[in-house]
Structure 1
Amino acid sequence: MSASALQAVPPKTALVTGATSGIGWETARLLAERGRVVIVHGPDTESAHHAVERLVAAGADRARLRLAVADFRRLSQVKRMAADLSAHHPVLDVLVNNAAVAAPEEHTLTEDGNELAFQVNFLAAYLLTRELRGPLTARPGSRVVNVSSITYRTASLDWDDLNRAHRYSRYAAYAQSQLALTVFAGAAAPAGCTVVSVDPGTGATALLPVYVHEGEGESPAEGAARVVRLCDPRTPLVPGAHYDTTGPSTAGHGERTARRLCKAADRLVTV
């Protein structure tokens, strides 16, 4: 291929949610370092702009950084962001669903009527992935990487009460959101797109000390490196698998469970 032809090939584009701090910011930094156009998502304009400035200070090319703003506590903002991204980025090669919050001490519902952690950590990611189906299928080989946590192993999906209205604990609510994000990766992916989930490592995120012992774990940069490896087209992926330090696994949940979860999610994000 000639040099002019190579120059005509646009760089691949990646969207990283929750990219204002921790693993999300480090993931954006590493992807930018690899020459990607990186869409930096934040819950508000100020935090997203600040994240971009920090990326530029760390050596990222400002010309290849974009902003995306949406408060995942409001599903209408997720839809609006997806529509804007689809209009301005008709081709999306990587979506990293990283945004997450710790479940609050008290049972808390969003204005959409969903338990806070379940919506921010799972439903928003599910809705965003669904709404970006067009850009994600525009070029073969796209990838969706759901950043989960080790807590999913202790969780169960309460099909009769996914919003935990009757039996609430912050640990159970957070763990269920991580399990849902992991199970969702096993659902039918858009044509030409591979969806997986990954545990970035205990302690790699600021959320995990709430749920595991203090002092354990690694840095956000180390966790981000695991995420970015799965974003690399040279890394072979097992569709629907969950990745941890030992490699891919099926996470013990079948396609039937994934379909049931997606059906429930469709209902919750439509209300």
Structure 2
Amino acid sequence: MAAWTADRIPDQHGRTAVVTGANSGLGLVTATELARHGARVVLAVRNTAAGAEAARRIGGDVEVRELDLASLDSVRAFAAGLTADHPVVDLLVNNAGVVLLGPRRTSADGFELQLGTNMLGPFALTGLLLGAISAAPEPRVVSLSSITHKSAHLDFDDLMFERDYRAARAYGRSKLATTVFGIELDRRLRAAGSPVVSALAHPGLTRTNLTPRAWEHRGRPGQVIARLGLLATQSVERGALPQLRAATEPGVRGGQFFGPGGLFETRGRVVEARLSREATDPDAGKRLWSAAEELTGVSYL
């Protein structure tokens, strides 16, 4: 079978897509391709000036709305404004995320910043938009995972990494949590008889602005490390293909997980990727869901 490329995206006219973190990197490529194929695309971004510049570059039917996933107040305000103007949302791509390699930081709500931004914010956003998503004829939610989820473990006694904090491990945990969420969401959607498909993707190792930013606290040595790391990565255009396939390919099933099929899943053509055992553990899914509902105050399914 020929390699999957963005040229295989079907016509998206008449569909409304929300892409978080759409002003740069994977989100910008994803939003650009969706718009290029005819979708109305909402760029959900922290920095609306950067979002406006991205919208100018993308062209087509694109609008910019402010969203900070590290703030539940921002998530709620975004969801309320979006659904007032767009009562039907066909696609939500939970793309935005942060990578930290410095000291422990917290979100506006006191969550460890990576868990708060990468999983708890998207959990709340998805729940608040689920009514509008469910109203679409072929609704879909895509959660962005990472190969780092495979070596991570959820410690439900210390989800916020308040003990023995290590930034890289906290990032892996946040991406495992994102993956567990996407799979548990699929279970619950199926049990409820919902038409919404919850799919997942990961970009392998991709050249985005997250890695250089993560090493900023190390000064010049950190910049050198970040540049060396870029040599092992693939382009952002290739890195976005798994999530674009998860978002647009006809017949995608709930729980499917796409990623690069090359060496250690770091790069290469898009294939159905492998999930870790913990990512698919129903008990982990139930426990994380309960914790997320309590922490965010958002309950659904």
- TM-score (norm. length: structure 1): 0.88
Shift of 1:206: 3.4
Counterpart for residue 257 of structure 1: 284
Counterpart for residue 74 of structure 1: 71
- Cα deviations by residue, 1:182-215 (Å, 9 ceiling, x for unpaired): 1111112371111121111212433357699441
Counterpart for residue 247 of structure 2: 231
SS at match of 1:132: helix
RMSD across aligned C-alpha pairs, in angstroms? 2.1
- TM-score (norm. length: structure 2): 0.80
The verdict on how the C-alpha distance between 1:73 and 1:231 changes in structure 2, with shifts beyond 3 A counting, is same
Q: d(CA) in 2 for partners of 1:250 and 1:155?
A: 12
Q: d(CA) in 1 for partners of 2:16 and 2:107?
A: 31
- Which amino acid in 2 is paired with 1:67? V
Shift of 1:254: 2.2
Counterpart for residue 200 of structure 1: 203
SS at match of 2:240: helix
Counterpart for residue 156 of structure 1: 153
SS at match of 1:95: strand
Number of equivalenced pairs:
256
Q: d(CA) in 2 for partners of 1:111 and 1:231?
A: 30
8 A contact 2:13–2:37 mirrored in 1: no
- Cα deviations by residue, 1:68-87 (Å, 9 ceiling, x for unpaired): 21122211101110111111
8 A contact 2:243–2:258 mirrored in 1: no
The verdict on how the C-alpha distance between 1:104 and 1:122 changes in structure 2, with shifts beyond 3 A counting, is same
Counterpart for residue 4 of structure 1: none
| Farther-moved stretch of structure 1 (214-223 vs 153-162) | 214-223
Counterpart for residue 105 of structure 1: 102
More helix by share: 2
* Identity, % of aligned positions: 33
Q: d(CA) in 2 for partners of 1:158 and 1:52?
A: 40
Counterpart for residue 3 of structure 1: none
- Cα deviations by residue, 1:135-178 (Å, 9 ceiling, x for unpaired): 11002321111112111111111100111001211101111111
1:215 counterpart (214, 218, 231): 231
Counterpart for residue 183 of structure 2: 186
Structure 2 residue runs of 5 or longer lacking an equivalent are 1-11, 216-225, 261-270
8 A contact 1:92–1:135 mirrored in 2: yes
Q: d(CA) in 2 for partners of 1:233 and 1:87?
A: 28
SS at match of 2:141: strand
Shift of 1:10: 6.7
Q: d(CA) in 2 for partners of 1:204 and 1:10?
A: 30
SS at match of 1:38: strand
- Which amino acid in 2 is paired with 1:93? D
**Is it true that 1:11 corresponds to 2:26 in the alignment?**
no
Shift of 1:88: 0.8
Q: d(CA) in 1 for partners of 2:151 and 2:142?
A: 21
Structure 1 residue runs of 5 or longer lacking an equivalent are 1-8
| Farther-moved stretch of structure 1 (241-250 vs 12-21) | 241-250
**Is it true that 1:243 corresponds to 2:258 in the alignment?**
yes
Q: d(CA) in 2 for partners of 1:222 and 1:10?
A: 23
